[in-house]
Copies of this chain bind each other. A is one copy, B any other.
C-alpha cells in the first residue's frame, strides 16, 4: 500500500485489519529512536545503524528507505514466512519501497491510496496541526511526484468515502486470495476428481 501522506492510509489500513484479522502489518526495522509509548518488536524493531547496515548487506530487507535521516526496512524473511503460512502482510511504504518490492519478484499486490482531490489533501495535512507550512508544502510536492507513479500499481483506491474505500480494499484482498488459491485447488482436484 502506497499513497501520499494525507491520503488516509493509516485509517484505511486499521479498518481493513479490524475486518480481516489475518491481514497484519509487518514490523519494520528502523534506526529512528523509539518515541514514548512505542514498544520494540511491536511498533518497530529499533536497531543501531550498524545492525541495520549489516542486515541490509545480508539482503534481509525486501525494501528500505531513508526518511528524515533515519533508515526503515521491511524484513523479507518475516514477510515470506507469514505469507507462506497463509497470512496477508500489509506494507505501508512509499513509491521507492514499492518499486523495490516489485523488483524483488515477490508475489505482491500493489495498491495506491489517493485522496479525493488536491484541495482535500491540503486540508487534511493542515488539519493535523502538527506540521509547519514548509513541511506541508514539501509533502504536497512529494505527493505530486508519488502520484505520477500510480499507473503502474495494480489497484487504485480513492479515499473519498471511508466505507467505500474499505470495501474496495477488502474486496481486493479477498479476490486476490481467491486468485492465488487456484493452483492448490486444482492440485487437490486431481485427487478428488481422478
Which residues of A are interface residues toward B (Cβ below 8 A)?
A: 114, 117-118, 144, 147, 150-151, 153-158, 167-168, 170-172, 174-176, 178-179, 181-183, 185-186, 189, 192-193
- Report the minimal beta-carbon distance from A184 to chain B, rounded to whole angstroms: 10
Partner of A154, one of B114, B168, B179: B179
Closest to A182 in B: B156
State whether B182 touches A147 (Cβ < 8 A): no
State whether B171 touches A155 (Cβ < 8 A): no
Main secondary structure of the interface of A (DSSP, over half): helix
Q: How far is the CA of A154 from the CA of B182 in the complex (A)?
A: 8
- Report the minimal beta-carbon distance from A156 to chain B, rounded to whole angstroms: 5
Partner of A118, one of B117, B150, B186, B193: B193
Partner of A174, one of B144, B175, B182, B189: B175
State whether A189 touches B150 (Cβ < 8 A): yes
Partner of A192, one of B118, B168, B176: B118
Please name the 6 residue pairs, one residue from A and one from B, whose CB atoms are nearest each other, closest first: A175-B175, A171-B174, A171-B171, A171-B175, A156-B182, A172-B175
Q: How far is the CA of A176 from the CA of B154 in the complex (A)?
A: 10
Set of chain B residues within 8 Å of A118, measured between Cβ atoms: 192-193
Partner of A175, one of B117, B144, B155: B155
Set of chain B residues within 8 Å of A151, measured between Cβ atoms: 182-183, 186
Set of chain B residues within 8 Å of A179, measured between Cβ atoms: 154-155
Partner of A153, one of B147, B155, B167, B182: B182
Known interface pairs A144-B193, A193-B144; A114-B175 also in contact (CB < 8 Å)? no
State whether A156 touches B178 (Cβ < 8 A): yes
